[in-house]
Structure 1
């Protein structure tokens, strides 16, 4: 299951759309038939209670499960998440259609378009996350352990089906880090096509961390499930590092080769 924000809103037509608040966006949940069966078997598609789960438990933090994160209303035909964003169920064919449609419209530039979509999304989500984190956890970001902070950002994406992650902060002091994504919905849907395909993820990571630290960062996928690997791996850092990694990748370097060169401080091709 995966959620993708699209430009839609429940706000009145004469009210400006606030793109930085998830509650004004509509999101797509891409689900498999197994997920639909799970929702039905758990009897989750029922009318909403008078109060949402968040209203009933304002201090609750461990809302990781589908049952806790989403509110399903069969009578109204709506699904809202913990942040009051509207969600729509679609199938994985949506991912295929979106990527195929972009390729037909703009050709090879479709990968850049996907990256830019993710980057813009990440920038806006960084703004939302910072405001929401201060309100929900009653603390400043700079006072928070980074591992906890990043998990607080990513857990809704895990619930929404973007996949589990592992973030390596060991090289943070050197200005870069690695992110592993397990079960990328894009790579899983497209299958083994022999090349990286998770440009939406790469753009989102670049945008989010740029917005978070207020410094321009880029991101590149150096290993992908769609290349026959067991998981996807991303490098986040300044553009000079991304350019170097891109060059090495085009020359046939593996993810482990690129990681080793980065950790050794090599930047020039």
Structure 2
């Protein structure tokens, strides 16, 4: 099967990087600047932050559902997508500034972890990207402790549309491809962690069709890895025989 993703080649860094002691600000005191007089919190990348609780997240999502109904998930995805695209541009800027590297010259795993760790510091959860299937036209991202899913609790359906949009937007810019994303398992469905599938629009539509038909994340992975790309279930040769 022909891949829908043209693999972008990332090489090992040809130049030495700066000391990570000067750029890996994992502690709250180093990463955040709390301006108590102005009531403003900025992070190391000069972005303004807000401290919010679970009630804020739940109220925001419920408010969107009240205003736009079932389109709330789509709206969150679009917001996340634009966010992810802008963050990809910003990341490439500070990645170059702090490390003297670009996505093309850096080790890909190092670059991806460097991009995401500020999200972890801000409370968005930890992640584990699995890019091993990129040559086949898709890949996965596992998310642990989703701020959205943890706040909403059990819902019986995927709820992390904002995350799906962020991932699609970021990787579309980073890999210079038009990528889409969908959540194929979610903490809000009773799973231990959330899993996102990224690939072409066609592949994501197929995955969402399978999900609606009752397939789980492992079944979707097996079918894609077997090269299957069917929107409609295959007809049995014995169909209609009684």
Q: Taking structure 2 as the reference length, what is the TM-score of the superposition? A: 0.84
Per-residue deviation, 1:59? 7.0
User: 2 CA distance for matches of 1:247 and 1:88?
Assistant: 37
1:72-91 CA deviation, whole Å, 9 max, x = no partner? 23233221110112222222
User: 2 CA distance for matches of 1:58 and 1:188?
Assistant: 32
User: 2 CA distance for matches of 1:138 and 1:107?
Assistant: 46
User: 2 CA distance for matches of 1:212 and 1:95?
Assistant: 28
User: 2 CA distance for matches of 1:200 and 1:235?
Assistant: 14
The match for 1:82 among 14, 25, 44 is 44
User: 2 CA distance for matches of 1:140 and 1:120?
Assistant: 21
User: 2 CA distance for matches of 1:58 and 1:246?
Assistant: 41
Partner of 2:104: 142
For the pair 1:240 / 2:198, whether they are aligned, the reply is no
Q: Is the 8 A contact 2:45 2:94 kept in 1?
A: no
Matched position secondary structure for 2:124: coil
Matched position secondary structure for 2:51: strand
Partner of 1:205: 167
1:59-112 CA deviation, whole Å, 9 max, x = no partner? 712212222211123233221110112222222211111111111111101110
Partner of 1:35: none
Partner of 2:145: 183
User: 2 CA distance for matches of 1:77 and 1:113?
Assistant: 30
Partner of 1:97: 59
The match for 1:129 among 91, 94, 106 is 91
* Count of residue pairs brought into register by the alignment: 213
User: 1 CA distance for matches of 2:36 and 2:225?
Assistant: 52
Matched position secondary structure for 2:191: coil
Partner of 1:217: 179
Partner of 1:262: 224
Q: Say which structure, 1 or 2, has more relative contact order (CA 8 Å, 6+ apart).
A: 2
Q: Is the 8 A contact 2:33 2:43 kept in 1?
A: yes
User: 1 CA distance for matches of 2:205 and 2:39?
Assistant: 46
Q: Is the 8 A contact 2:83 2:169 kept in 1?
A: yes
- Which shifted more, 61-70 or 145-154? 61-70
User: 2 CA distance for matches of 1:134 and 1:165?
Assistant: 23
User: 2 CA distance for matches of 1:240 and 1:224?
Assistant: 22
Structure 2 stretches lacking a partner, 5+ long: 1-18, 232-242
Per-residue deviation, 1:254? 0.5
CA RMSD of aligned residues (A): 1.5
Q: Taking structure 1 as the reference length, what is the TM-score of the superposition? A: 0.76
Normalized per residue, the structure richer in strand is 1
